[in-house]
Structure formats: C-alpha cells, structure tokens
C-alpha cells in the first residue's frame, strides 16, 4: 500500500506578453491596434475562476469601446469566443495543464493585433491511495472521518490523510458499498454470500450467511435493523440474528428506506423486474412493473420514489406505488441511482455517458454530455452544498454546475458498465472521495461544503450510506 501525495503547482502567468505578428494596414490612414491583457489571480487551480482583462489594449484611431476582442483559451488556433466589444471576461480551465491563451483585438478598420500568455493550471488532487484491487463500491464516512470502501476482496479503511487504517479480507469480491451505523459499526456484503459487521477498528463483530452472493449495499433502519438483498430480502438485527426474509425481494438492488420504515427494492435482472415496497415486518405492500430492469431508488422529501430503468425511462412514484410521472431519455439505459437537489431537481446518469437534470414535475431541465462523449458510463451523482454535481464518467471524475456547465474534471481509471457502483461522496470540508478502476482511491478538493441539504443528495442518501431518508 502506498499513499501518493499530490504536488501542488501554481498558476503561473508570464510576466511579459508574447506578441504575435500584427496584421498590416492597407494604407497609412489606419494603424493596427495594440493587444494587451492581464490574468487575475496569478495563482490557483481548476477550482478558481480566472478574470482576464483586455482593457489596456489600445488603438491610435479608435476609442477603447470600439475595439472588438476574442479569445482562444488553449492556443489551438480556433477562437473560443466571438468578436465582442466586452474587454473583461471570467473563464474556468477544466483540466490541469499548461495553456497558451491568445487574445485578438480588432479595430473598426478590421486591422488586428494578437498577444498570448502561458497559463499553468494545477489540479485539485489531495492524495491517492494504492488499493488492493479494483474499486467497485462507493465510500462511506465513519467516526473521525474514516473512509470505508470495498476493493477487490477487501473491506478497506483509510484515514482522512490517505494513510491505511486497516484492511479486512473476505472470500469474495466486495461490490457492496459499506454502511455505517450510529455506533460507528460498518456493515458490508461480499460475493462470498456473507454480510459482515465490523467494529471501527476492523475486528469482526459478526457475519451472517445469506443464500447467494451479495452485490447489494445494505441499508440501516432507524432501529438499527440491517436490510440487504441476496437470494431474498433479509432483515437482520444489529446482533446478527435474522428477523425475517422475503424471497420476493431477492436480487442485486440496494434497499432504500423511507421515513415511515417502508423498504423499497428492485427485484429482477437488467432486462425486467419490479419495484417492490415492504413494510418493516416484511409484508409486501405493493409492486410497480416496467419492461426493463431498474436502478436502486431514491426518495424525495414528500415520499416520492424515483427510479431509473433500462427501458430509457425514469419514473416518479407516489408512496402508494401509483405513477406520478415518467420521463424518457433520448438515448441510453438509466444505469445509476438518482440524486435529488435542494430544489427538488432529480439528477440521473445513463450508460451512454449523459447526466439528465429533471425538474420536480418531470420536465427536462438540462442534459450534459461533456467532452468524454457517448459510451462513457456514469456513476450515480452526488450533489454538493453549492449545487455542483459530481460523478464518475468514463475515465474522469467530473464536476458540473447547477446550470449544466462543466466546471472541471480529473482523470482516473476507466469505468466499465458493471462497475458503475463507484459513486462519489463529499465531506463537510469539500473533499471528494472516489475509488477508481485503475486501482487507486482518490481524494480531490472541491468548492462545496459537504452535500446539499436535500432528502437524497447521493447514492445511499448520506455520507454514512445508510440508505434511509430522514423525516
């Protein structure tokens, strides 16, 4: 195990503008303008918006407000903005790189001058940890900020500084995302068919054997009962004893618990199945069927249940199981669990690499594809306190604004379809934790201050991954 600490590099702006050859005037009555701009601040990272000011450009014949400006952000020879008389602009660089920023100023006689500056932008990586296998579960945050996740056949615990606290070896792959109870105890399933309960120091408290492998992430009820799907839906008390099981609830879905104790699970495979509702005593309350497999559900403040389907639809159901609305995406199966913003907006990803933002009434708010394009599978999103949407897409962790604009992205291991359980979380200090398919676990700094205040801001609802909506 090795912990790699990222080196910070400042944004460096060259002290003098590098002048490019100006256009030559057609006659002596007009002379070319003179291009000049500044960048503020003079140090930062992808998290910082940069202010560029071309107001010191000049022309012997024209007034400043008559001059037109345009920008090429990466020096690739293609202008990224149209000619405009606005001299000041704010820009975000979405990746860590050395950029050649070119500015052109053009006068009313269509004569031009260009200038350029080199801008070095650092990333937001805090550290990365070399894990024992591919990371196929979403992290949970426990006591003292300890980070828990599954990697290969291990349940891993890291300190907030990226050093190893402990590993626990199971007999199968750990796709299940850990859940942490109020006492700091960790519950997680393995493909060896066991549900494990570990103390915060990594010692085994108990393990319970189900009838099949566990890919489901456990949910923790208000009374400490643990619910997990395997060959059946199991209800297990916090001492490891079975309370009840129901074969109707078997599958890979991760249960979601409403404030009244109702448990929602998807049963079936990727091509078919039902969303089932169970009471806390194990009795089935209702079922809702589609002609496609479904993702694990999210629950809204008013008890609405949101679930995506492989038939391209996202559904909103009433607490009694009746349909409130449905929305069909343009392309792509719904591959991830929805997340809910503080204004009730619903965010969900598809297997074709798009994030959809829907209004609470089910109408389209925006759709994001990004630079990695079609075919890049997405994780379930996490919503930051400032409304920023974070998700794992293709081989990047991406941050998108509440308006659907890319803010930044950081390269990590390539995601494949069956591993889209790797969803991020956000701490109160703005650190994003995410496991990569490249065998590293990442900590990235963000501008958010924790998760947004909503009923279901991320996969498994909260930093502890309890899968339970609070009243």
For 29-54, how does the pLDDT look when each residue is reduced to its tens digit (9 = 90+)?
Answer: 899 999 999 998 877 899 999 999 99
Q: Tell me the two tokens of residue 136.
A: 């196929």
pLDDT tens by residue, 221-262: 999 999 999 999 999 999 999 999 999 998 888 999 999 999
Which residues of the chain register pLDDT less than 70?
1-28, 269-272, 332, 371-377, 413-421
Q: Write the CB contacts of 445 (distance below 8 Å, at least 6 apart in sequence).
A: 45, 47, 124, 125, 126, 430, 431, 432
* Residue 163, pLDDT score: 98
What's the CA gap between 74 and 83, in Å, rounded? 17
Answer for the pair 353, 393: CB distance below 8 angstroms, yes or no. Answer: yes
Specify which residues 229 forms β-bridges with.
233
What's the CA gap between 101 and 17, in Å, rounded? 10
Look at the alpha carbons of 148, 151, 153, 158 in this order and tell me if their dihedral is positive or negative: negative
- For the residues of 17-84, what is the DSSP string, one character each? -EEPPPPPPSSTT----B---EEESSS-BTTS-EEEE-TT-B-SSS-GGG-EEEEESS-SSS-SS--B
Q: Write the CB contacts of 241 (distance below 8 Å, at least 6 apart in sequence).
A: none
Instruction: State residue 64 phi and psi, 5-degree precision.
Output: -60, -40
* Residue 270, pLDDT score: 56
Q: Computed over its alpha carbons, how large is the radius of gyration of the chain?
A: 26
* Residue 293, pLDDT score: 77
* Residue 5, pLDDT score: 39
Helix, strand, or coil here: 143?
Answer: helix
* Residue 378, pLDDT score: 76
Tally of CB atoms within 10 A around 18: 12
List of domains in the chain: 9-121 (2.60.40.10), 125-445 (2.130.10.10)
What's the CA gap between 182 and 326, in Å, rounded? 36
pTM: 0.87
* Residue 407, pLDDT score: 93
Kindly report whether the peptide bond that precedes residue 41 is cis, defined as omega within 30 degrees of 0.
yes
Look at the alpha carbons of 222, 228, 348, 452 in this order and tell me if their dihedral is positive or negative: positive
Q: Tell me the two tokens of residue 253.
A: 């879905």
């Amino acid at each position: 195990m090795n912990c790699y600490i990222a080196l910070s590099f400042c944004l460096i702006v060259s002290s003098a503008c590098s002048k490019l050859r100006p256009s030559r005037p057609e006659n002596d009555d007009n002379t070319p303008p003179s291009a000049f701009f500044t960048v503020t601040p003079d140090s930062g990272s992808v998290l910082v918006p940069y202010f560029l000011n071309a107001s010191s450009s000049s022309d012997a014949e024209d007034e400043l407000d008559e001059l037109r400006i345009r920008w090429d952000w990466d020096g690739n020879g293609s202008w990224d903005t149209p000619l405009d008389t606005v001299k000041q602009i704010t820009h975000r660089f979405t990746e860590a790189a050395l950029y050649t920023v070119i500015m052109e100023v053009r006068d009313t006689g269509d004569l031009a001058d260009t200038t350029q500056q080199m801008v070095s932008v650092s990333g937001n990586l805090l550290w990365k940890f070399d894990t024992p296998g591919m990371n196929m579960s979403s992290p949970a945050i426990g006591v003292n900020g300890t980070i828990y996740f599954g990697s290969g056949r291990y349940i891993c615990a890291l300190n907030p500084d990226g050093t190893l606290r402990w590993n626990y070896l199971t007999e199968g792959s750990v796709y299940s995302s850990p859940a942490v109870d109020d006492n700091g105890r960790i519950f997680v399933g393995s493909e060896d068919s066991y549900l494990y309960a570990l103390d915060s120091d990594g010692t085994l408290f108990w393990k319970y054997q189900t009838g099949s492998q566990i890919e489901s992430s456990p949910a923790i009820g208000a009374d400490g009962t643990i619910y997990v799907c395997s060959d059946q839906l199991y209800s297990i008390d916090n001492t490891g004893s079975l309370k009840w099981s129901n074969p109707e609830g078997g599958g890979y879905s991760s249960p979601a618990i409403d404030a009244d104790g109702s448990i929602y699970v998807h049963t079936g495979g990727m091509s078919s199945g039902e969303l089932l509702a169970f009471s806390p005593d194990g009795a089935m309350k209702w079922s809702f069927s589609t002609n496609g497999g479904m993702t694990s559900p999210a629950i809204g403040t008013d008890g609405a249940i949101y679930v995506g389907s492989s038939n391209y639809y996202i559904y909103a159901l009433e607490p009694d199981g009746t349909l409130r609305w449905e929305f069909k995406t343009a392309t792509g199966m719904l591959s991830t669990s929805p997340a809910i913003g503080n204004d009730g907006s619903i965010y969900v990803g598809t297997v074709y690499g798009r994030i959809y933002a829907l209004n609470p009434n089910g109408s389209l708010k925006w759709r994001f594809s990004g630079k990695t394009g079609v075919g890049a599978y997405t994780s379930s999103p996490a919503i930051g306190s400032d409304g920023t949407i974070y998700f794992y897409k293709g081989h990047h962790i991406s941050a998108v604004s509440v308006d659907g604009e890319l803010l930044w992205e950081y390269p990590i291991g390539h995601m494949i379809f069956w591993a889209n359980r790797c969803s991020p979380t956000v701490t109160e200090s703005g650190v994003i934790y995410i496991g990569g398919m490249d065998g590293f676990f990442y900590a990235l700094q963000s501008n958010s201050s924790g998760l947004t205040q909503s009923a279901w801001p991320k996969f498994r609802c909260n930093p502890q991954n309890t899968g339970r909506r609070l009243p």
